[in-house]
Amino acid sequence: MSVLSWGRSAAGVRRALRRSSSRPRAAPEEGTLDGFWGRRRSSSASPCEQDRRKDWGHAELLEVLQARVRQLQAEGESEVSVKRVEVARLSEGECQLPRKMEGQLCGRWAEKLAKEKRTMQKRKQRLQVKLQARAQQLDHKLQPRPLRLEPQLASGQLSSFLRRKAEESPESPWEEQLARVLQETPQKRLHKKQVPSDREAEAQLSGQQQKLLAFLECSLVSGHLPLAHHVLVSYHSRPRMRKLLTIPMYNTVMLGWARKGSLKELVYVFFMVKDAGLAPDLLSYAAALQCMGRLDQDANTVRRCLEQMARDGLQLQQLFTEVSLSREEQAMVLRAVAQAEPTFSPPPQPPPQVNTSTLLKEVYTKDGPVSYPKLHLPLQTLKDLFQQQLHVELTTRVHVQSVEKAPSMTKEMLQARKTLKALRVQWEAALRRALQEAKASLAHQAHEGRPTLYPFLCLLSERELVRMLMQVARSQGESLVVVAKDLGLRAFNRHMVQQKQLSSQVQALQQRYAQYLHLLASDTPVATPCLPRQYWEALGPPEAPPQQPWPLPVLMQLGKQLAELLVQAVRMPLDLAVPGGSSKLIPVLYHVYSFRSYRQIGILKPHPAFIELLVTAAEPRLTFETVDMPMLCPPLPWTSPHTGAFLLSPTKLMRAVEGTTQHQRLLEHCPPSNLHGALDTLTQLGNCAWRVNGQVLDLVLELFRDKGCSRLGVPPPPSEAPRPRESHLPPGAPPARKAELRRELASCLKVAREMHSLRADALYRLSLAQHLRHRVFWLPHNMDFRGRTYPCPPHFNHLGSDLARALLEFAEGRPLGPHGLDWLKIHLVNLTGLRKRDSLQARLAFADEMMDHILDSADQPMAGRKWWMDSEEPWQTLACCMEVARAVRAPDPAAYVSHLPVHQDGSCNGLQHYAALGRDSVGGASVNLLPSELPQDVYSGVAAQVEVFRRQDAARGVRVAQVLEGFISRKVVKQTVMTVVYGVTRYGGRLQIEKRLRELSDFPQEFVWDASHYLVRQVFSSLQEMFSGTRAIQHWLTESARLISQAGWAVEWVTPLGIPVVQPYHQDSKFLVKGGLQSITCSSSRDTSQKPNTLKQKNGFPPNFIHSLDSTHMMLTALHCYRKGLTFVSVHDCFWTHAANVPVMNQVCREQFVNLHSQPILQDLSQFLVKRFCSSPSTRRQSPSQRVLTTKLLETLLSVPKTGALDLEQVKHSTYFFS
């Protein structure tokens, strides 16, 4: 420090410096006194008592310090006046300086201070210059870089050509340059690589390429085309990054400039395409022609473009058949083409393709009687319902009143709600600020040439994003991965809805749907009956090409960014957590780590005080996404893999894990007519109208709001969760007691978590049921990769538990007719599970015997004899009791209009398909493929066979066989027999049997392990003996899949209805989303280019193939029932219809099973697999080991198992095939 150098000549100063240097001190701040003056005061010297020189030294030091203080206080003044400095009293004595010395000191120090002043001013000026320079640099750095439009080309020829063009006058035409650059030969790529077609390129894009392409596409949609062009130019200008660019990326930017009619920028992109060594494709030429059409270019320019396109091997007609353009874009392309070829007209729309499958011949024939059903609602009612559903989807969320028992209103509750309301206002403002800051930062990064999330955050308004985040802020804690994925999907769905709203698709949909309702309404006759899909397609082609979903890495990155903004911005006062605390703000959500199984995961956990605030407020409202709700109007008919179900919200035809693209690619490559059977089935299932069974709902709500009832499937509240007998142990408790308490606590915690999950699921279901109590609603459907159908709304549908099914009934009722009441009674007995081995007549007689109990259950369900509670399906039994009671008490039971669905269930349906495939007479008889007086129970048959083996082993002295005497029952073996057809292993079967044995109170538990091992072996042996043909087919499928996957392929096949199937089992491909709260590692098996998982492929093929057959049988039954005018829905192999229509459905069900298995299913499968996996690769390029594997695979695929002598026609006469 300079002030210390002034006093170096004074010995006292040197001593002071030595004393002060022995203590570490912080560097003082410029322009403050705390760093210097404060430290000196704390280390002032002792009074002078003996040494005069010490007094002089102190006096000199004080003089310096006081002068320095005056200098700092007078900083900025033009002159420095030095006053006389009196020496302060140091102690009891006083030290004074002689006047002569005083004057000398003042003159000397005045000179030194003036010199220091000049030095400080110079330093200050230099510092100000430096600060101004740094501020300018910072401002320059923070200001967005100017967006580059002109590319930097690697080719000297193209670069000089473009430079000459830039030197010409701005008015010179760019059309000439476009024609010339199109004629240029693409430059050689430094890294030679076969450029695949668009779809293959899209499938094989790396994660970085996917994000870049998504960024470019999103920039166009969000109105940031210059930014997309700038990033493309930045990538193209760097050789290492240029390798990532593909023709779809260049096409994306070209299409954006074409829509704006900006020919100059479009030519720049064409230069980059040629410079990158790529050849323009159909979409490239479509962009160029569209741009010229908007600018009304002369015929010569267009003609040269068309000639070059022809030289590249592309046909003009392909622009209108193979390129996805909107109608307006096609019109611009046609306008440009007309300049050069006035007589050209686009190829006409191809006639509707007709499905040629022999199985669907009767469905699509125009001959014969047709009785397609109509809805029971008039046209105007349906139009009103459409407007309501449209409003719901435009708002993207639905608020539903909770059915939890409302606590009494208290002062604390009102205060908590008031606090929450005030906090949410603050959170919304904080989230808006955080979003603005994040967008500004990401925009700056994008201007530096890096693809960021900026355009994705610009897709939705800040208000909409804040509303979406506020909805997530209500959650009770979830892993960051789940929150990020959920937020990314919500943002995408809202963006899709908004795009349709902005592009006038909503208005077009309103007009088209109003016409479509004429087919469904009860009061509008149709001249020519047809299927809903056919009627919708006849109304015109689709308005806009489908938009591809965002890649999974982009979804996760966007969701993670939004989740981090939520954690950063949402805060609450500390005094809410600590009464009497400060008003300091603390986070509401905390990012913590927790172990789940063996993995450590990050969790966003709300502050306990916030959870307590929510509990105290007891807000009576739940919020659901639109896609989680049933529809208020008939769904859109499925017409393609992209279009169907909800009005605006995007829905997948084939449901799959996010990021999986292989199924979608298969569907898009599949001929459209091959999907007609699946599309029409899904449309028909979705068109079934439902209503809530109010009587059952009232009873369930009564139990739910009380204490629940686990026995009846009504989860109890958390207050009923078990608690440990003692929460604290006395001092000195033994270790064994501590371990026991830990196990007890862990068990109670596990049960409490399970109860909470079940309670939340029931709360959602019952709240939705109450919300829809007086409404008619619809359940849109889609399918999984095997063709099995599922309702899209997850919380409230007919695929749920017994309780969920009992809450639903058909909105349209039908009179029972002469036999409907009998079918209601048989259905009632089937639900009880009491007469499974009896004939239908015996079941009907049993229902008549129990009529007193049935009526009592209907009249006094909670106060009577409660006969219905002992049923296997108690709530469905109760609903049926009420329906039977109303029917028998009606003046004319045959005229009673019934709304209750009646079920017909397959008899171990998987084994039925196996037996039919192998024509296995013995196995077929045991699963009711053959007529019999009484139903055959395969589970009892297996149990009997196992008992035979047990007796033989017990006689030989096998201990476990002796212990099992009297314990082998149908219940013990049922689950294993049921699931062995779906690929359960011996290990899984043993666990199933172990669980059943532990449920037997009188079975010696020390033998559970040995007994389960013994029984699973005997069950598999019994099935091998009873279903020899089934096991042979299962082995053939397993071995084929093993060899296919070892050869590097995923197993594929086509169902008899033409649905392409690929098994989605591959080695996981991991990608990392870096930064922020934590880095997220995600696993994805999205692509067939990844190595297949051999174990999952071989174990999954047999059950998945059988599932694809049972889905085919269901679809055939559904389509033929629809043609006959029946209402039909299904739960996989359980078919539902009105009681009056059960005989017709049973006939159709049997006929279609016979028709299905009359096809050479295994032979067709063998031929497809041979063609797919043994014919395409060239054996000359294979290694010797690969050729050996291919040869073995070919031999295995051709070795189709031999079949037996089962007569399938007998199925038509089997009463208990489905019953």
By annotation, the residues acting in catalysis are: 905, 974, 1133
User: How does DSSP assign 874-911, residue by residue?
Assistant: HHHHHHHHHHHHHHHHSSSGGG-EE---EEEEBSSHHH
**Beta carbons within 10 angstroms of residue 162's beta carbon:** 20
Cβ atoms of 1146 and 904 closer than 8 Å:
yes
The alpha carbon of residue 1093 and the mean position of all alpha carbons in its chain are separated, in whole angstroms, by: 23
Interatomic CA distance for residues 646 and 634, integer angstroms: 9
Question: What b/e string do you get for 393-430 counting C-beta neighbours within 10 Å, with b at 16 or more?
Answer: beebbbebebbbeeeeeeeebeebbebbeebeeebbeb
User: Could you tell me the end-to-end alpha-carbon distance of the chain, in angstroms, rounded to an integer?
Assistant: 100
Phi (first) and psi of residue 627, to 5 degrees? -70, -10
Neighbour count for residue 807 (Cβ, 10 Å): 26
Q: How many Å apart are CA 645 and CA 652, to the nearest integer?
A: 9
* 8 A C-beta contact, residue 887 and residue 879: no
- CB contact at 8 A, 1201 and 1033: yes
CB 1009 within 8 A of CB 993: no
Rounded CA-CA distance 442/449 in Å is 11
As a whole number of angstroms, the distance between CA 1027 and CA 917 comes to 12
Is the dihedral angle over the CA atoms 876, 877, 878, 881 positive or is it negative? positive
522 to 220, 597, 810, 1013: CA distances (angstroms)? 45, 55, 16, 60
Nearest residue to 86 (alpha-carbon basis) of 72, 115, 106, 111 = 106
The residues, ordered by sequence, that sit 6+ positions from 816 with a Cβ below 8 Å of its Cβ are 824, 887, 893, 894, 895, 896, 897, 898, 1139, 1140
Q: Which residues, other chains included, contact 1045 with Cβ-Cβ below 8 Å and sequence gap of 6+?
A: 1051, 1092, 1093, 1094, 1097, 1098
Cβ burial, residue 1069 (10 Å; 0-12/13-18/19+): middle
Residue in 407, 676, 648, 456 with CA at minimum distance from that of residue 562: 456
Quote the strand ranges of 567-703, DSSP E. Answer: 571-573, 585-587, 589-596, 599-606, 621-625, 689-692
Tokens 């943002």, residue? 491
Q: Judging by beta carbons within 10 Å of its beta carbon (0-12, 13-18, 19+), is residue 20 exposed, middle or buried?
A: middle
User: Which 3 state secondary structure label does DSSP give 605?
Assistant: strand
Q: How far apart are CA 887 and CA 814, in angstroms?
A: 12
SS (H, E, C) 105-169: HHHHHHHHHHHHHHHHHHHHHHHHHHHHHHHHHHHHHHCCCCCCCCCCCCCHHHHHHHHHHHHCC
- For residues 269 and 1087, give the distance between their C-alpha atoms in angstroms, rounded to a whole number: 30
CA pseudo-torsion sign 1089, 1092, 1097, 1098 = positive
Q: State residue 850 phi and psi, 5-degree precision.
A: -90, 10
Question: In Å, what is the CA distance from 845 to each residue of 526, 835, 836, 838?
Answer: 45, 11, 14, 10
Q: What is the β-pairing status of strands 902-905 and 1052-1054?
A: unpaired
d(CA 247, CA 201): 9
